[in-house]
Amino acid sequence: MELEHEVRTLKEPRPTSVDVLIRGRHVRVPVECKFTEQEFGTCSRPGLKPEAPRYCDGSYRVQQGRRTRCSLTEQGIRYWEHLPDLFDWAADRDHSPCPFGASYQLVRNVLAATTDIDVATEVPAGHAVVIYDARNPEFLRHGKAKRQWVAATEACRKAGLLRRVTWQRLVAALACVPEFGCLVDVLEAKYGLCPS
For residue 16, give the nearest of 94, 88, 82 by alpha carbon: 82
Percentage above 70 pLDDT, the chain: 95
Inter-CA distances, 24 with 6, 29, 124, Å:
17, 9, 12
In a domain, 11, yes or no: yes
Q: State the average pLDDT for the chain.
A: 90
Q: How many CB atoms lie within 10 A of CB 26?
A: 9
For residue 131, give the nearest of 187, 88, 190, 180 by alpha carbon: 187
What's the rounded Cα separation, in Å, for the pair 138 and 35? Answer: 11
In a domain, 158, yes or no: yes
Inter-CA distances, 94 with 6, 69, 76, 196, Å:
31, 7, 19, 45
What's the rounded Cα separation, in Å, for the pair 55 and 97? Answer: 14
In a domain, 182, yes or no: no
In a domain, 53, yes or no: yes
Q: Tell which wins on pLDDT, 5 or 46.
A: 46
pLDDT digits (tens, 9 = 90+) for 76-129: 998 999 999 999 999 999 999 999 999 999 999 999 888 864 444 444 578 999
* Confidence at residue 175, expressed as pLDDT on a 0 to 100 scale: 94
pLDDT digits (tens, 9 = 90+) for 160-186: 999 999 999 999 999 999 999 999 999
Q: Is it the case that residue 189 has pLDDT exceeding 70?
A: yes
What's the rounded Cα separation, in Å, for the pair 106 and 129? Answer: 9
* Confidence at residue 124, expressed as pLDDT on a 0 to 100 scale: 54
In a domain, 189, yes or no: no
Our count of domains for the chain comes to 1
In a domain, 180, yes or no: no
Inter-CA distances, 2 with 5, 28, 196, Å:
6, 11, 27
In a domain, 156, yes or no: yes
Print the domain residue range for 57: 2-166
In a domain, 8, yes or no: yes
